[in-house]
Amino acid sequence: MSPILTTVSLLTLVTFVSCEALKGPQATSQVSIDTPKAFATAASGRNDKISTGWLREFGDPRMTQLVKEALANNQNLKAAAHRLRAAKEGTIIGRAARLPDVSSSTGARRSDARDTATRDSYSLSLNIGWEADLWGRLRNLDRASQADYQSALADFRGARLSLAANTAQAWCNLVTAEQQLALAEKTVDSYKTALPVVERRYRATTLRAVDVQFARNNVASAERSLRIRRLNRDDAARNLEILLGRYPAANVTSSFELPSLAKSVPFGLPSQLLERRPDLQAARANLYASAERAEAARKNLLPNLRLTGSASNSADSLKRAFDPNFLLYSAAASLSQSIYRGGALSAQARAALERNKAEIQDYTRIALLAFREVESALAADRSLAEQELFLEKEVRQTKLAEKRALSDITLGIEGASFLEYLEAQRRSENAGISLISLKNQRLQNRIDLHLALGGDFITK
């Protein structure tokens, strides 16, 4: 048997063994997750665009304006945009591997020896190479790079949505801090108003000295709380300014009214809304990319065909070196097959397949996490709405109790207790602060719900 036939037979055998030894990636397996009927029975649909349309639900033009400013000026988002452009360039690199590569070189040399005359020589060469994608390996890598870009694009959309949500929440925190500051100022005024009454009743021997000390202590405590609220307000302003790309000088103008929540959450949100979530889109793209790379690694065990061509010339003058008539041409084709590399190629293929399986598990985990976030936000929305109703009643009652206790002390009604008045004041202040915080908590949770859904409640 001739050496050529022996080589061809060996390559054929290795190719056959390579094809039979490995199984393709299992990335196309369907991942099914059981979802509650209340979440999945509504009309289906998709919305691949990450928008800020959900901001209209809160009826706050100022908040919408600030979100737009953040999207335009935030440094983190600008950095994410640059990374997205870098990922886009990666698709060109992946596509270029399927195209011919061309290179050229020129040279000049001068030789000078004692027994010969000085001699100049010039050279020019042009090389062309192209890998024939017999098995589609390069196409797999090209599609993988495209999937990488889709993943980066989803991450960028996620960064936009997250920034919009964080800015809206920071605005709500600022308004909350402003309201709590105003309540602290009212509390100081209330305590200062009550102090002369207590001192007058003490001089009339109807109250004890300890009651005066308690009253003065309340004024000092309220003044200290007022300073804390001012500091909290400035911190909230600086946090918002950082998101807006401004210098954190605590100069941003606040509102005195929190955004409204007039619209309730629609019943039976479709589970298909979650398909808009950027992290799920990125996970799907990563899963697809890992499948393509696993397939390319498997095909890397097969023979590789590469076509090459070159043209070169060497002459004693620069003009002749660039003359096409004196160029020497050559073309060749080579078929290569790795026979033994210590099992490296097979190990690479198996590793790529395992990474593909890991991406499947990651996608399942992210999907389950998305459902948990939505379910938690929906449950919290209902609970917080009920809590607000009871807390509003509590605020009304504590204010009435405080007013009545002060009136009883002022009129000198027998049995009026200053300690009761102090307790009424404390409850009224705490209830007012809690109500402001609870309203902000409802807003924060509603924004988290939109973040978990990847947009508004409507599939466009």
pLDDT higher at 148 or 208: 148
How many domains does the chain fold into? 1
The predicted structure's pLDDT at residue 231: 96
CA angle, residues 225, 228, 233, in degrees to nearest 5: 125
Does the structure show a pLDDT above 90 at 36? no
pTM listed for this prediction: 0.77
Question: What pLDDT, in 10s, does the model give residues 144-158?
Answer: 988 989 888 888 888
Number of H helices, E strands in the chain: 10, 4
Residues linked to residue 102 through DSSP beta bridges, in sequence order = 128
Q: Which whole number is the average pLDDT over 444-453?
A: 92
Q: Quickly state the pLDDT bin for 122 (edges 50, 70, 90).
A: low
- Strand 328-336 versus strand 304-315 pairing type: antiparallel
Q: 136: which residues sit within 8 A by CB, 6+ positions away? A: 295, 299
Residues linked to residue 120 through DSSP beta bridges, in sequence order = 110
Q: Nearest to residue 281, comparing CAs of 375, 157, 166?
A: 157
Q: Which range has the worst mean pLDDT, 33-47, 222-236, 355-369, 398-412? A: 33-47
For residue 297, the surrounding DSSP H or E stretch is helix 278-299
HSE value, Cβ hemisphere, 13 Å, CA-based, for 64 = 11
CA distance 105 to 103: 7
CA angle, residues 453, 456, 458, in degrees to nearest 5: 105
CA distance 245 to 72: 9
User: Considering the domain boundaries, does residue 297 fall inside one?
Assistant: yes
Does the structure show a pLDDT above 80 at 205? no
Does the structure show a pLDDT above 70 at 282? yes
Q: Nearest to residue 276, comparing CAs of 142, 160, 143, 146?
A: 160
Question: What pLDDT, in 10s, does the model give residues 99-109?
Answer: 777 777 776 66
- Strand 101-111 versus strand 328-336 pairing type: unpaired
CB 199 within 8 A of CB 212: yes
The predicted structure's pLDDT at residue 248: 94
The predicted structure's pLDDT at residue 43: 28
Give the count of beta carbons closer than 10 Å to the beta carbon of residue 30. 4
Q: Residue type at 311?
A: A
- Give the end-to-end CA distance of the chain in Å, rounded to a whole number: 69
User: Considering the domain boundaries, does residue 287 fall inside one?
Assistant: yes
User: Considering the domain boundaries, does residue 240 fall inside one?
Assistant: yes
- The pair of structure tokens assigned to 445 is 């949770």
Q: 23: which residues sit within 8 A by CB, 6+ positions away? A: 353
Q: Quickly state the pLDDT bin for 315 (edges 50, 70, 90).
A: low
Query: Could you list the residue range(s) of the whole structural domain that residue 62 is in?
Result: 31-98+138-303+365-453
CB 107 within 8 A of CB 312: no
Does the structure show a pLDDT above 70 at 194? yes
Provide the CATH number for the domain around residue 70. Answer: 1.20.1600.10
Question: What pLDDT, in 10s, does the model give residues 238-272?
Answer: 999 999 999 999 999 998 899 988 777 877 777 77
User: Considering the domain boundaries, does residue 58 fall inside one?
Assistant: yes
CA distance 450 to 453: 5
User: Considering the domain boundaries, does residue 228 fall inside one?
Assistant: yes
The predicted structure's pLDDT at residue 325: 59
Does the structure show a pLDDT above 50 at 453? yes
CB 134 within 8 A of CB 305: yes
Question: What pLDDT, in 10s, does the model give residues 321-365?
Answer: 555 655 555 655 666 666 656 678 888 888 888 998 999 999 999
- Name the 3-class secondary structure at 349: helix
Question: What pLDDT, in 10s, does the model give residues 290-306?
Answer: 999 998 888 888 887 77
User: Considering the domain boundaries, does residue 434 fall inside one?
Assistant: yes
The predicted structure's pLDDT at residue 69: 93
User: Considering the domain boundaries, does residue 272 fall inside one?
Assistant: yes
User: Considering the domain boundaries, does residue 281 fall inside one?
Assistant: yes
- The pair of structure tokens assigned to 212 is 């005066």
Does the structure show a pLDDT above 60 at 409? yes
